[in-house]
Homo-oligomer: A and B are copies of this chain.
Amino acid sequence: MSPSQVAHRTLPVARRTLKLTIAYDGTPFVGWQRQARGASIQGLIEDALRPIEGGPVAVHGAGRTDAGVHALGQVASFNFTASIEPARLRRALNTILPFEVRVLDAEEMPGDFHARFSAKGKVYEYRIDDASIASPFLRRYTWHVTPALDVDAMEVAAGALRGTHDFAAFQGSRTNVHSTERTIHRLEWSRGPGPRDPLVMEVEGNGFLRHMVRNIAGTLVGIGHGKWPPGEIDRILASRERAKAGATAPPQGLFLKRVLY
């Protein structure tokens, strides 16, 4: 430790709370959360902050994205004592971090802000490449699905998922939550104007169970392939049984788009 750091750490220091908005390409990572092996986004950010703080920093993400899942606007918060300005901190982090992780914004927050506990909701996108031949440029960022989908049927089924429901049938295993009730405020399928734009499911809710967005996407694709009629979605919800719903859509189609506060 340098003399200036010793002096700094023996004085009473102001405890700050900072918020980061982060985009990442999840392809090369083990997921948001730090693991014993492999590069995680949380681990990279904590490691980048450590020399700036002159000590360990615990970074909390709004959601723990799985391996291969991407983010357009993940949010993280942490307590900090170093006096660096937010805009300079953002630039410093983007210099240290690999290009797959970009800090889009850094903001000073009130002391009670917490990326996860303060969140009121989240917006996810699930992207599907439904062209007969998979685009090499979309392969890391979509689920390639053939044959052609009945998007009208998927839209009808999506309507039954909007609102407040017990989503136990769409919950992944290895979870331990006290309630499986969640509210979906918005759930829409759309496609951009480009000839090769993917089919996108955008879903906004007050919270999501583990694998819930991917299980919804997998089930709606099953409906789009005529495996079930659109009305089956009500029976799947009512069953509360994971086995009744469709397959878990693969991680690379999923994007955490925005966290709502």
A residues touching B (Cβ–Cβ < 8 Å)? Answer: 23-25, 70, 94, 99-104, 133-137, 139, 141, 192-194
Contacts and interface: CB of A to CB of B under 8 A. Distances in A.
Most chain-B CB neighbours within 10 Å: which of A134, A135, A136? A136
Contact of A136 (B102, B133, B137, B194): B102
Nearest to A193: B193
Contact of A135 (B102, B134, B136, B192): B102
B134 A102 contact: yes
A194 B193 CA distance: 9
B99 A134 contact: yes
Contacts of A134: 99, 102
A206 B101 CA distance: 41
A137 to B, nearest CB: 6
Contacts of A70: 137
B192 A24 contact: no
Contacts of A141: 137
Contact of A24 (B99, B101, B136, B194): B136
14 contacts: A23-B135, A23-B136, A23-B137, A24-B136, A25-B137, A25-B139, A99-B134, A100-B136, A100-B139, A101-B136, A103-B133, A137-B141, A192-B194, A193-B193
A70 to B, nearest CB: 7
Given A94-B133, A99-B136, A102-B134, 6 more contacts: A99-B139, A100-B139, A102-B135, A103-B133, A137-B141, A192-B193
A42 to B, nearest CB: 16
Nearest to A90: B133
Copy total for this chain: 2
A175 B141 CA distance: 38
Nearest to A71: B136
Nearest to A192: B194
A52 B9 CA distance: 70
A194 to B, nearest CB: 6
Nearest to A194: B192
Nearest 9 Cβ contacts at the A-B interface = A25-B136, A100-B136, A99-B139, A102-B133, A102-B136, A23-B136, A193-B193, A104-B133, A25-B137
A135 B135 CA distance: 20
A19 to B, nearest CB: 16
A105 to B, nearest CB: 9
Nearest to A24: B136
Contacts of A133: 94, 102-104
A134 B23 CA distance: 10
